Amino acid sequence: MEEPIKAPVPEQEEYVINMGPQHPSTHGVLRLVVSLKGEIVQNVQPHIGYIHRGIEKMCESITYPQIIHLTDRMDYLSAHINNEAVCLAVEKALGIEVSDRVKVIRTILSELTRIQSHQLFWATFGMDLGGLTCFFYGLRDREKVLDIFEETCGGRMIVSYNCPGGLMNDIHPNFQKRTKEFIKYFRDTLPEYDRLLTGNVIFQERLKNIGTVTREQAIAWGLTGPVGRASGLSCDVRKHNPYSAYDRVTFNEIIYNEGDSFHRYKVRMDEMWESMNIIEQLIDNIPSGAYAEKMKPVIKLPEGEYWQSVETARGELGVYIVSDGNKNPYRVKFRSPNFVHLAPLNLMSQGAKIADLVAINGSLDLIIPDIDR
Amino acid sequence: MNSFTEYFRGIFNGLRSLFQGLGVTGKYFFKPGTTVTQQYPNNRKDLKMFDMFKGEVIMPHNEKNEHKCTGCGICEINCPNGSIEIISATIVNEDGKKQRIIDKHIYHLGMCTFCGLCVKTCPSQALAFGQEFEHAVFDRTKLTKVLNQPGSKIMKGVE
Ligand code: SF4
Ligand code: SF4
C-alpha cells in the first residue's frame, strides 16, 4: 500500500476561487466567487457590476425616442424585443394604436430575434461543454438572420429599428423573400443540431439532473422564460398577455417539468420550431398600411406610471416608466430577466461539481450587460 | 440479465450518437461547396454592404457641391449623445434678407451609437447613412469629421 499523497489543502477545508470576470464560460464580465470542498461546490457568490453603465439613470435625462437605442445595449441578443418593450409602453401611455402592418412586422422581427438568440445559445452552450463544432455551425446559421436584419434595419445586432409609433423605416422589398428562404433552410438544418449535440451521450450525461429547479422554487425566485418553463411554470408573456400580433397566431408554449439543465436546453430548441411556425403564419400576409404613426416632434407622456412586459429570448422583460409630464421620464426601471436568473445560481449549483457549474451557468444563458445595465 | 443488456445498450447508443454527430461534420467536410466563409480582406473590391447599412452618418452632396442642410440644428437636439455639433453662420442672401446657413456640421464618429435619429428627424433629408465600415484609425481626432464639404452651398429650393 502506498501512502496517500498529502493534499495541499486539507480535505475538510473549504477554499475559494474566482471564476471570472475574464472567464470564457461566464459569457461576459461576471465574477463568480466559488467556495469548494475538493471538487464540490459549496457556495457560489456572483459579483456583478463590471459593465454597469447606469442605463436607467441615463434614461432620466434623455427623451423617449432616445431611450430606444440604450435598450439595444442591455440584452444585445434580444435588441429588437427590448426596443419593442419601450415603444409599447410609450404607445400605451399615449393611447396610440399602431397599424396592423407595424404589429406584424414587429412580431416577425421579434421571432427572428428569438431564433438568432437561441442559435447563439446553442453555439456557445456546445462550446462550453467541449463541442467547438457547434460554435461554427450556430454562427453560420445565425449569420443568415443577421443579414435579414442588416438589410431591413441597417444594423446587425444593435438594430434600433422600433420607434414610438411604429418603425424607423419600411421593410426592405427583399425582406419576405429572404425570411422565407431562411425558414426553408433552417427547417432542414435544425435537425442537424439535434444529431450533433442533443442526442450526444456525453452531452446528455453532463446535463441531466444537473441544476434542478422545482416549480415552487421557480415561482419563488421569479424565474421566467425558458428557465421557468423548463420547471413546468407556464409564464410565456406572449400567451398570457399577448402584445403586438401574438393574439392572431397559434403556437404552443413549450413546457417541461423536469427543471434540469437539459430541459432548459430543450425548451430553447423547441422554441425555435415554434418561432418558425409563428413567422410562417405571418410572413405571407403582412397587411399594408403606414409603417409609422404620425407623432409629435416632442413626445410627452401624461403624468402617471406605465408598465409593459414582453417576452424576450430569455424571459420576461418589464419596462416601468414613471412620468411627471415632461419630455424626459422621471424614472425608468427595467425588470431584466437575466438579473433574476442569476440569483438562484447558488441554489442550483450547491453540491454539484465545478464542471457542472459551467453547464448550469451556460444553461441559464445569461447576458451580462442585461444584468448590470 | 436486465442490467447486462442495459449496459450494452448504453454503450451501443453512446457510440451511435457519436457517429451521428460525426456524420454531420463529415458531410460538411466532404462537401466544400457548403462553405460560407468570406475571404474578408481579400474580397474588399466586390464586398458590397446593404443599402440600409449604418456605417457612418454622411451628408450627400450633388455634382455641383450642394447639400440640403439648412443649419436648423434639429439633428443636434435629437442626438442622444452629442455626436453632432452645428456651427451656423448668418449671411445676406440675394434678396437682401438675412439667412441662417450651416458653417460647419461637425460629426463625432467615435461617439455615434447609430441610433438613426438624426437621419430620421432631419426636416430636409440632408443626412444619410454611408456604407463605409472600416473606421479604424491611429489617432482619435481623425474620427471627428466635418460633413459639409468645403465650399459647398445649400441646394436651391431647400428651405
Ligand atoms: S442636417 Fe438636417 S437637421 Fe441637421 S442642421 Fe442640417 S437640416 Fe437641420
Ligand atoms: S446616428 Fe444617433 S448617435 Fe449617431 S449622430 Fe445620429 S443621432 Fe447621434
Q: Tell whether B21 is within 8 A of chain A (Cβ).
A: yes
Whether domain A55-372 has CATH 1.10.645.10: yes
CB pair distance less than 8 Å for A297 and B36:
no
Give the number of the atom of ligand 1 that is nearest the alpha carbon of residue B68: 7
Q: Tell whether B123 is within 8 A of chain A (Cβ).
A: no
pLDDT 10s digits, A152-172: 888 888 888 888 888 888 888
CB pair distance less than 8 Å for A168 and B120:
yes
The reply to whether ligand 2 has any atom less than 6 angstroms from the CB of B126 is no
Confidence at A354, pLDDT banded by 50, 70, 90: confident
- pLDDT at residue A134 tops 80: yes
Query: Who among B17, B36, B53 is closest to A201 (CB)?
Result: B17
Cα A144 to the center of its chain, rounded Å: 19
Contacts 24+ apart (CB under 8 A), A26-35: A26/A361, A26/A366, A26/A368, A27/A124, A27/A362, A27/A366, A27/A367, A27/A368, A28/A366, A28/A367, A28/A368, A28/A369, A29/A368, A30/A342, A30/A366, A30/A368, A30/A371, A32/A345, A32/A357, A32/A361, A34/A354, A34/A357
Which residues are registered as beta bridge partners of A227?
none
Query: Which residue's CA is the closest to the ligand 1 atom numbered 2?
Result: B122
* Sequence spans of domains, chain A: 55-372
Calculate helix-pair angle for A175-193, A132-153, nearest 10 degrees. Answer: 170
pLDDT 10s digits, A136-146: 888 888 888 89
Among B57, B83, B122, say which to mutate for ligand 1: greatest number of ligand atoms within 8 Å of CB: B122
pLDDT at A22: 79
pLDDT 10s digits, A27-39: 778 888 888 888 8
Q: Tell whether A60 is within 8 A of chain B (Cβ).
A: no
Instruction: Give the ipTM of the model, two decimals please.
Output: 0.80
Q: What is the mean pLDDT of chain A?
A: 86
The reply to whether ligand 2 has any atom less than 6 angstroms from the CB of B90 is no
- pLDDT at residue A233 tops 70: yes
Q: Tell whether A146 is within 8 A of chain B (Cβ).
A: no
How do the pLDDT tens digits run along chain B, 159 residues long? 578 888 888 888 888 888 887 888 888 788 777 777 778 888 888 888 888 888 888 888 888 888 888 888 888 888 888 888 888 888 777 777 777 778 888 888 888 888 888 888 888 888 888 888 888 889 888 888 888 877 777 777 666
Give the number of the atom of ligand 2 that is nearest the alpha carbon of residue B115: 2
- pLDDT at residue A130 tops 60: yes
